Structures are given as C-alpha cells and as structure tokens.
Structure 1
C-alpha cells in the first residue's frame, strides 16, 4: 500500500505555476454556485438588497477566510483531514465533518452538472426544451450517472488536462456571457432588471434571514468550509502569492455571478416570469431565450457546453477533496479511492436525481435536491467555515501562516486572525440575542 506522503507528493505536482493554480482554482470556484445558484438566490431574496449583503459578506469576512484556508493547506501539504489533524488532536473529527459536507454537496452538484450536459446535448441536436419537458422522463438520473462516471475516469487517470481546460474555459465563458448581457440589454426587461438590482430596499438589510442567505451564498461560491481550498492549497506552487491568487479568484467568481444575474433577469422579466422561480430559474429561462434568438442554435450550444464545463470543473474539485482524504487516510491507491468515492456518489446522488423524475422523490413536499442544497449549502457550511477558521487562528501561530502567504505584508495576516478568532463570538451573540427576542415575542426584522 502506498504511504500518505507519496500520495501528497504526486498530487502537488498538478499545478505547474501560479497562473495555472489560479485558473484551476477559479474553474473550481466558478461553476454552478455562480451560474445556477446566485441568480435564483438573488431572485428569491429581493434583488439589490441581497447583492449588497452578499458583497459585504464576501469582502469583510469570506475573503480573509478563503486566504486562511488556502494558506493552511499550503502549510500542511495534506488532505483536508490531515490538515486539521495537524492543527489540533480533535481536528481529525472536524476534517471528516468537512469531507461529509463536501460529499453531500457534490452528490446533488453532479445531478445539476448532468442537467447542464443534457441541455448541451439537446442544444447541439436542436432539441432544446424547457425544464419541465426535460425532466418528464429519467434524464436527470441518466445524465447524473454519465457525468459521475466521466469524472471518475478523468480522476483515475491524469487530471493535468484540467489546467488546459481551465485556461481556455474561463475567458470563453466570460466572453459568451458578456455577449448575452449585451443582447439582454436590448430586451423590454432590461429597465426592470436595473430597478431590481439598483433600487435597494435598505430596510431589508435588517432582516437576519437575508444576511444568513447572503453569507451562505458567499461561503458556497468560494467553497469555504468545504475542503476545496485546503486541498487545492496543498497543491500550490512554491512561489505563489496567496492573497493575490485569492483576490483574482474571488474577483472572477463575483464578476461571473453578477454577469449571470444581468444575463438571466432581463429575459425573466421580458417573458413575464417571476424572479422567485427557484432552483430551476436558469434552466427554465435560457432555453426560451435561445429559441427566439437569431442564431440561437449556435449560441445555445456554446452556452450550455461552457455551462457544463464550468459545472464539471467544480464537480471534479469536490470529488478531489474526498479522494485525497480517502486515499491518504486509508492508504489506498488513487484508483481504489476513486472507485470507492464514485460508488458513494452514485448511491447518494440517486436520491437527488430521482426528485426530478416521474417518481418525484421529496422530503416534506420539497424535492430531495432542494432540501440538501438548502441545508448543506446554507447554515451548515457557514458553521463549518467559521469553525475551521477559528481552529486555524486559535491553534496555529500567526508566524507559521506568515511563512506560506507569499508576502511580507502583515495586512492580510491581521485581517485573517481578526475574523477567524472573533467571528464565532459575534455569531454566538447574534444567535443568543435572536433567541431571547423570540422568547419575549419580538421577531427581529
């Protein structure tokens, strides 16, 4: 059996340079969280008020934690479990908790990635359908199986091709999205979209639920508390400037998320649809757009192909977190770890896939996929991210993190430790105050 350090050394050879690392991490961060989840979260949470809360959460809290997680992974040069084991003797329990969260999220993420593949195939065969028609049969299940097996094949062999795909993917995707935003600006719904984003109902910022959703989305899209950043940080090239790399990735993902909103909502309003459509928003809207667009066949094929590649890159990143942990902790070869993780994904993801088939599997009347997304992709990853940051900041001396940041400036070190050490206390006070107010019959705004 292979030893732990042998697996790590092989994994860290993947990223050839800082640009390659940045492109690969951006491809992992920019995916369904931006193109699928961000628009529907904006639609369900009041438009501009949600965007303001999301940006504040991202800049003030989430970005420092992102840099901290990447730095910790670079320091430990191990999987998620190994990284937290080195932090504290109880860290291994938390490390496996993070892997389990990633397992839950990736299980339904692969289902949605299957939707994007299905839509890419439909667009290429000139058979693009709205979401209700697409899910009339068992497309969700078959395409979920297809992308899971495809991911396993790639990860079992050589993933260095992800570098090349990432470098090409991001620029082309952004160019296509900018073109669609320009096209959307000529639709009747453009003015309504501007109002939706820029006419902020500031009173909504006093709503604790809005902030919970905003923080959840920020943690989700930057993969905080999910092991992605720790794992990718362990592969990082020696000379990488970690804050700079994280700023580029965060800026890219935020730009793509906002572009997705400006791309989708003009069509939503033009077609007389409601922005509160939910998790199906992009899949309901875009097929109708391409159906009425001149050259819609070519644009639709390109868009959904890129949509699939972005989602697939993120799926590979999630699987990589689990494979790294399983291979390292159980001393398995990469092939055996891939097989085991793939089997688990096929079992877990089937429940989410069947929730959008004629069987309509649900929990309390809500599709299984939506329930897992709401729970694992919301408060759970906020808790995970905050707890992980606290462990790093209370048990790892600042001077150790400083050695792997790639910069002599203390600015980022100060911000990371300020957020990591005291955010848990702030959150605890907020929970206690909210509970106390509820007990006396006062509901926070």
Structure 2
C-alpha cells in the first residue's frame, strides 16, 4: 500500500495538523527550479550579460552565485526544513519577534503575484497571435496601441481592455485551481510536467535559433568578453542582483517549499542542483535570445549593438515578434516561444501564491481550498482592475521597480538579521544542515552570509537614494509616491499588523528534529544538553534507533 502523503509527528507530540509533503526529492527539486526559473531568466539575464561586459560578466556572475546565491539559498532551506512552517511561522520559531519578517515576504509575494499574472496573460495572448502573426510588420505599434491600448503615462484609467482582461481571468482561474489541489496534487504535478516541457521546448528554440543566418554574430555579441568592466563596481552589483533575483531569494518561497520536505531529507544537495540548474537555463536562454537577435540584425543589415529592446517587456513583446514575422516557420517558433513564457511564468507564479496560501493556512487553520479561493479571488480582483486597464503597463513598471529593487533586498536583510544576528541561530542551522545533508556547509557559511549582507545593505541604500533623488521612468512625483513608495509602505504595514493576529494553534513548540541535544548544542537558556554529537534519527517520526 502506498504511504499516505501526510508527515508523521515525532513521538509524544501533537500531530502537525496533517501537513503535506513532497512525494520525493525529485519533486522538490523540480518545484524549486520552477520557482527560480521564470521570466527573468529569459528576458533579464541575456540583457544584463550583454550590457555588463558580455563573456566577462560570467566571472562576477559565477562568484556571486558561489558567495551569495548558494549561501542564502542554504539559509532559506535550513530555516524552512528545521522550523517546519510557512515564512511567518518559521521566522516566529526562529525568534518570537521575527514573525513580521515572514509576513514581509508574504506581502512581497502578494504584490508580485498581482502583476506577474498580467505578463503571463500577455504571453498567453501572444501565443494565440503567433499562429496568425497578428502583430504584423509593426509589433511596437501593435503592442502599445492595439493590444494594451495604452493611455497617458503616470495616470490612472478605469478603461478595462477586454483583450487583456479575458486571458488574465483564465490565468487566475488556473492558478486558483492548482492551489486548491494542494502541494502534492496541484503544485507538484504542475512542476513535474511543466519544467521538463519548458526545458525541452526552449532547447528546441535554442537549436533552431543557432542555425539562423547571423546567429553567430549574436552569440559573439553576448559572449565576447570586455574585461575592463571588471573594475566597475556597478557590474559586480548587477551580477549579485541578477543571481539574487533569479533564484527567488527572500520571497519566502524556498522557506515554504523546504517546510514540505520530509524530516530526513538531504537539504544542501538539492539546493545546489536548483542553483546550477537555474543558471544553466539562464545560459540556454542567453544563447536562444542572442542567436535570434543576431538573425534580426542580419535581416535589417545592422550590427547587434544597434538593436533596441534587448531585455524586459520590449524583448518579448516587440523585438521577438519582429523576428518571428520575418523568419521561416515563424508561426511555430513564435508559438513555442510564448508557450515557454507561459510555462516559466506559471511555475513561478504558483510558487509565490503558494507562499501566501501556506501562511494563511498556518495562521488561521484554513484548508487549501478555502485559502486558494479566498486569496485567489481577492488577488484576481485587484490584478484585473489594476493591470488590465489602459494604464496597466505603467503601473506594472512602477510597482515592479520598487518591490523588486527595494522590497526583496530589504526582506533579505531582515531575514538574515533575524536568523543570524538577533535569533543567533547560525550555528544551530549549520549543524542542522550538516546532520541531514550529504554536503556540509561548514562553519564559514554563516560568516559568509553576514558579509554578503553588507553588500545587500549597500544595494538597498544606493537604490533607495537614487529613486528618491531622481525618480523613475519620467513618471510624476505623486504617481511615484502613491504606487512606488506606497507599495513599500503596504508591505511594511502587513509586516507590522499581521503578527498581532492570534494563531489558531500553539506555534511555540516546533518539535525540532534533530533536537538541539542531538546536534550537540546548548538549549536556549544556555544549559549544555550533551557533549557528544549523537547520530540523527533514521525514521520520519523523529525517533532515534
């Protein structure tokens, strides 16, 4: 008989309210990769590499991955796996006053989920447009005027664009349905099917792009190194920023996903697979994108450096449609490209929405269906009103800038401070990883995370000063205050208010496994529990053989 998909509680403790878990290590890895691999890998990484030294950018990128990406990924996995809860619950167990940090992450996920669905909806529409090449010979005019029906920048419009609203409703309906099915039947199955399909589809796109005329010029433009940029601090900050945002760090996603792993699970090994798998997909995306841009430059008779719109929204919805309209078999190529965007976006969207859902399930004791409907319907209503209007693109641009460039970095700083500085859990988490994992992080790991925090603080302060001093995108000051700084204020408000609401159950006793005694650590009041490092239990009940 198959083992039931509910985690058993340690002997002599209250059951953990039937908390679900992944069916196995592969399911967790695919789900974590699904969260990490998103739209940013396809439209942000190639542009970042090209603008910051080409092949030379790989040096700071790799160092950033090793010194920041992987250590912080270890930290989030360790917190989630040891303290067995969503971001707010796990952070509360790290330190009683740190619950707000978890809700800060949840609020960031909520904001990102609102506009991420809009981009997926655009991709879904363009998947359909590709079969008939509806965007014609002027994709920029089609995207701005015919599809989005853009209004005046820096204003709000009540005009809902039906062509955007309908696919947006479909995306939200699918999201709610997947969340309602829970971790095993919903989130896991989506990623087990979606991630291999995404890799195969984008792999075919990359191979096709490499055989286009001019493809080698595009690849050369991407990877030709300019080593002089290595002395520019902005290039290093860009590399750390790309790694940080690409791995879904400080969203609370990895804390939540790790909490669904069995107690006896290898933590660091899969985290490394996720980190390098994500970077590998970014390189694959870079090859496909710049080979295609090389073809576009060849057709137009210009150099790759003369092309405009090589990253972000313009790359996907203006530049690529221009290529698709001119290349042989463009309809199929376009359909596969936008299908890849939908898959990459959907797996990432589900991860941030599951982070929100898990937090409310833990806090109020709701089941997955109730939470999916409540959270999903509220999010869908706000998303449709805000991002299917004729000014939705400008709102998306502003909210994304503040939530990504400031909110996520602030959340990371707060998480590290709570876990390693105020909670003083660094040694405990290091011993926990060593006990349950095949690859031990070593004592250097908490110290390395602390050093990286200084860089994060610098990134946050410099970006905040820049936005406060120079504004953004030419938008009016009142617009920036309302929807830029207002976004940060909303996230902070959630972090302050939610900890005041009562939990539906006792959350102070997480039934830690391995126990502090088994890890050779003193208890929380300083009494030494054991002098020996005892073997960890070999069963899921937390019992020592």
The question of a shared fold, defined as TM-score above 0.5 by the shorter chain, is answered with yes
Change (3 A) 1:209 1:429: closer
Change (3 A) 1:278 1:419: same
Which of 237, 240, 244 is equivalent to 1:212?
Answer: 237
Secondary structure at the aligned position of 2:313 is classed as coil
The answer to whether the Cα contact below 8 Å between 1:79 and 1:231 also exists between their aligned partners in 2 is: yes
The answer to whether the Cα contact below 8 Å between 2:413 and 2:457 also exists between their aligned partners in 1 is: no
Give unpaired runs (5+ residues) of structure 1: 436-445
1:147-166 equivalences under 5 Å are 147-159=171-183, 160-166=185-191
Q: RMSD over aligned Cα, in angstroms? A: 3.1
Which of 30, 47, 56 is equivalent to 2:63?
Answer: 56
Which of 223, 235, 242 is equivalent to 2:260?
Answer: 235
The answer to whether the Cα contact below 8 Å between 2:405 and 2:463 also exists between their aligned partners in 1 is: no
User: How far 1:197 moved relative to its partner?
Assistant: 2.4
User: How far 1:373 moved relative to its partner?
Assistant: 2.0
Matched, 1:247 2:255: no
Q: Which has the larger radius of gyration?
A: 2
CA distance in 2, matches of 1:315, 1:260: 19
CA distance in 2, matches of 1:294, 1:7: 60
Give unpaired runs (5+ residues) of structure 2: 1-8, 150-160, 298-306, 465-545
Matched, 1:416 2:445: yes
Change (3 A) 1:434 1:231: closer
Counterpart for residue 438 of structure 1: none
Counterpart for residue 212 of structure 2: 187
Change (3 A) 1:361 1:400: closer
Q: Could you tell which deviates more after superposition, 68-77 or 101-110?
A: 101-110
TM-score by length of 1: 0.84
Counterpart for residue 441 of structure 1: none
Counterpart for residue 333 of structure 1: 367
User: How far 1:397 moved relative to its partner?
Assistant: 4.6
The answer to whether the Cα contact below 8 Å between 1:49 and 1:205 also exists between their aligned partners in 2 is: yes
The answer to whether the Cα contact below 8 Å between 1:18 and 1:237 also exists between their aligned partners in 2 is: no
Give CA deviations for 1:389-417 in whole Å, capped at 9, x if unaligned.
3432332152444335522654x143431
Change (3 A) 1:430 1:222: closer
Matched, 1:407 2:437: yes
Counterpart for residue 112 of structure 1: 119
The answer to whether the Cα contact below 8 Å between 2:36 and 2:348 also exists between their aligned partners in 1 is: yes
Counterpart for residue 382 of structure 1: 409
Matched, 1:143 2:143: no
TM-score by length of 2: 0.70
Secondary structure at the aligned position of 1:344 is classed as helix
Which of 20, 30, 34 is equivalent to 1:12?
Answer: 20
Question: Matched residue pairs, number?
Answer: 422
CA distance in 1, matches of 2:98, 2:291: 47
Counterpart for residue 392 of structure 1: 419
CA distance in 2, matches of 1:400, 1:282: 41
Q: Which has the higher contact order (CA 8 A, sep 6+)?
A: 1
Counterpart for residue 360 of structure 1: 391
